[in-house]
């Protein structure tokens, strides 16, 4: 498995660096990682993929650019038109059995993916096969 983030090579994960001011040293925020203590791993975040996690929908099974298979659970903030989510929660699948682990793992939405099982977004109206169901009756355009 390839990681998405690695320890910053300048501050070694501390988030601050020593700055020389004339005759003494002071500490300041690391300019390379902006004080986070981490940076993108080599090849990250796209890993050579053209599709990102932000482009896909919950329920799809994808192969992350890191090589792991995962099922997309949800986006944060929720995916809306003209809004790009910042992070995506995925369920990493077991390596050999593809069984779900039921543990939500947060990934940046800009990580590249390859689509395994595509899920078509449902745009059609509700199938009217259950007209007798009182909870599915429409009144004024909305469900009762």
pLDDT (tens digit per residue) in 68-109:
899 999 999 887 778 889 999 999 999 888 888 889 999 999
| First CA to last CA distance, the chain | 49
pLDDT value at 112 more than 50: yes
Contact (Cβ atoms closer than 8 angstroms) between residue 130 and residue 136 = yes
pLDDT in tens, 3-33: 788 999 889 888 888 878 788 888 888 888 8
Its pTM surpasses 0.85: no
Check whether 130 has a pLDDT greater than 80.
no
Largest CA distance in the chain: 85
Query: What class has domain 51-117?
Result: mainly beta
The sign one gets for the Cα dihedral 7, 86, 115, 119 is: positive
CATH 2.30.30 residue ranges of the chain are 51-117
Task: List pLDDT tens digits, range 21-67.
Answer: 788 888 888 888 888 899 988 888 888 888 999 989 888 999 998 88
pLDDT at position 91, please? 92
pLDDT of res. 119: 60
Q: Which of 58, 46, 57 is nearest to 113 (CA)?
A: 46
Using the Cα atoms of residue 34, residue 37, residue 43 and residue 48 in order, give the sign of their dihedral.
Answer: negative
What confidence score (pLDDT) does residue 82 get?
Answer: 81
How far apart CA 135 and CA 123 sit, in angstroms, is 21
Tokens (6 digits) for 15: 């988030």
Task: Let me know how long the chain is.
Answer: 144
Res 71: pLDDT: 92
């Amino acid at each position: 498995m390839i990681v998405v983030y690695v320890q910053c090579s300048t501050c070694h994960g501390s988030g601050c660096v020593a700055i020389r001011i004339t005759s003494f040293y002071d500490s300041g925020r690391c300019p390379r990682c902006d004080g986070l203590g981490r940076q993108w791993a080599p090849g990250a975040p796209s890993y050579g993929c053209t599709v990102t996690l932000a482009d896909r929908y919950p329920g799809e099974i994808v192969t992350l650019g890191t090589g792991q298979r995962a099922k997309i659970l949800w986006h944060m903030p929720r995916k809306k038109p003209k809004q790009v989510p910042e992070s995506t929660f995925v369920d990493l699948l077991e390596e050999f059995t593809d069984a779900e682990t039921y543990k939500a793992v947060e990934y940046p939405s800009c990580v590249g993916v390859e689509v395994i099982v595509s899920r078509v977004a449902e745009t059609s109206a509700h199938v009217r096969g259950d007209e007798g169901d009182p909870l599915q009756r429409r009144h004024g355009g909305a469900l009762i």
